[in-house]
Chain A
Amino acid sequence: MAWFVGIDIGSATSKGVITKDGDLLAHHLLPSGTNYKMAAEKLREELLSKASLSQEEIAYTVATGRGANNVLFADQQVADIICCARGINNIFSSVRTVIDVEDQSSQVIRIDEEGRVINFANSEKCAAGSGRFLQVIANVLRMDLKDVGPLSLKSENPVTFTTGCAVFGETEVISRIAEGNSKEDILAGVYKALAEKICALVERLGLEEQYAITGGGGLDIGLIKAIEGKLGIQLLVPPYPQLVTALGAAIIAAEKCQLTEG
């Protein structure tokens, strides 16, 4: 009987899971803030309390994500694309292409039937290809991020953005509002721009089904529809898209533990 922990410290949100015999026992999410060490500590406390466990009962902990090095209680750090690939393989074994859309980056990962990474492409230099772009626009429109996707689906005439830049996009949105465009048409245009960036990454790796979306982007129906429409594909969406990478970390933790014991 052994429990394993996966901790994923992302730029915006920190995610943690505890697994037992491959099953998800407890999970928790919290904002990463500016102090990743504190976020990691808090995450551990919450996870242990939710699972009614003490630290001694945890057999192995794997940390991943941008702030992985700040997880002082981890036994090992593993790259996030490896964890994401393992996590999605555990949920949908048929998936060969994972589109992981996060706050500060997007990555597309090609995986094999065992959940091993074959190739990947990412955009991390520019907010235009990441969730941050949406956050910026939602702020301009004074909308909650969770309402943005559903509203965009009502659009019949999406606006076109001339640059991909999130900063200039903000200005353009203000101009479009002044010109009298509706919120839904503006938002649909934003999704179109975002999907173009992300789909370019997918096309760089070559199309191979089946497809899944993970990260915060997996919670966004507007983005899912925009990507599906652009590529003409179906996206599988896991029940907790933000937790996939942390789950993968916990699965890797279990394997590491078996290896060391064996």
Chain B
Amino acid sequence: MYFAGVDIGSTMTKVVIMDEDEEVCSRIVGTTGAEHRRLANKVMEEALKQANLPFNEISYVVATGYGRVNVPFADRQITELSCHTKGVSALFPNVRIAIDIGGQDAKGMKIINGNLVDFVMNDKCAAGTGRFLEVISDALGIKVEDLGSISLRSTNKVKISSVCTIFAQQEVVSYLSEGTPLEDIVAGLHDAIAGRVVRMVKRLKIEPDVVLTGGGANNIGVVKAVRENIGCEVLVPEDPLLSGALGAAILGKETVLKALAKGEPVPKKERRLEEATFFT
């Protein structure tokens, strides 16, 4: 049996396909984009190709993330908080605090014995999300994926005093005009985003193990800044973007196994691999 998790984030679409031993046989990360919001089927096709499987071999599909309703071929939709908790707990059984820095939001989850007990979230303000770095790297004329390695050269990071992304962008430009080295500015930006996220997550009382996921965890500069701001070790999975999709696939497997154990039919939907015809 094979299970698929589809995580449609605001910025990236992630798909994981795994077998019943939770062995991952396909992992795909694609951009969500305005045009592609309804094209989850394309990413799924890519994932099936990688796993060398036809769609009807997939026993169960769970969709998650903010675009989860745009996955018409999913058997079930589950919130990203549940899927993240599941995915992160599978990778790090001792996780207590999971922090996810996504493209347009950031969240902190308190997890005890694999269960979500509390969470905090910001999706109202771009500061403290990936969008902050995107907007500013644009102003700096550098690629967002290069920020991490640039920041590691810093010896004297600047203090970004603006909270607001738009004001910070202007602050960065004035640092540049004063001749401040780029790496010190970028390190300051990482500290700003980490500081904001950690302040929010502190409401959950931080205790180890702490795990960082999402696009933010792909940036070594952000990981370093989160470590410094928390003051303890921060674990990062090999594929930080995939924990939500992985959790979705595992929750799909559990749904099927539960039904089978009870001798009930698996609650599957009539589904075809097609694009979404509606928007939300």
Q: Which residues of A contact B (CB under 8 A)?
A: 11, 34, 104, 125-128, 132, 136, 163-168, 171, 174-175, 178
Contacts and interface: CB of A to CB of B under 8 A. Distances in A.
A174 B34 contact: yes
Interface string B117-136: 00000011110000110010
29 contacts: A11-B170, A125-B163, A125-B164, A126-B125, A126-B163, A126-B164, A127-B164, A127-B165, A127-B166, A128-B164, A132-B167, A163-B123, A163-B124, A163-B125, A164-B124, A165-B165, A166-B165, A167-B126, A167-B131, A167-B135, A167-B165, A167-B166, A168-B124, A168-B125, A168-B126, A168-B131, A171-B104, A174-B34, A175-B34
Contacts, number: 47
Nearest to B134: A167
Q: Top 6 nearest A-B pairs by Cβ distance?
A: A167-B126, A127-B166, A126-B164, A163-B124, A165-B125, A167-B165
B173 interface: yes
Interface string B167-183: 10010011001000000
Given A132-B166, A163-B125, A168-B104, A34 B135 contact: no
Nearest to A104: B167
Contacts of B131: 167-168
Nearest to B279: A179
Contact of B166 (A136, A163, A175): A136
A168 B66 CA distance: 15
Contacts of B170: 11
A34 B164 contact: no
Given A127-B166, A165-B124, 11 more contacts: A125-B162, A126-B164, A127-B164, A127-B165, A127-B167, A164-B124, A164-B125, A168-B104, A168-B124, A168-B131, A175-B34
Interface residues of B, number: 19
Interface in B128-168: 131-132, 135, 162-167
Contacts of A167: 126, 131-132, 135, 165-166
Nearest to A105: B167
B36 to A, nearest CB: 13
Nearest to B125: A165
Given A164-B124, A168-B126, A178-B34, A34 B173 contact: yes
A166 B165 CA distance: 9
Contacts of A132: 166-167
B226 to A, nearest CB: 21
A259 to B, nearest CB: 35
Contacts of A125: 162-164
B159 to A, nearest CB: 15
Contacts of A136: 166
Contacts of B164: 125-128, 166
Contacts of A171: 104
A181 to B, nearest CB: 14
A164 B132 CA distance: 15
A94 to B, nearest CB: 35
Contacts of B123: 163
> In the complex, which of the residues A167, A168, A174 has the most CB atoms of chain B within 10 Å of its own CB atom?
A167
Contacts of B177: 34
Contacts of A166: 126, 164-166
A9 to B, nearest CB: 14
Contacts of B124: 163-165, 168
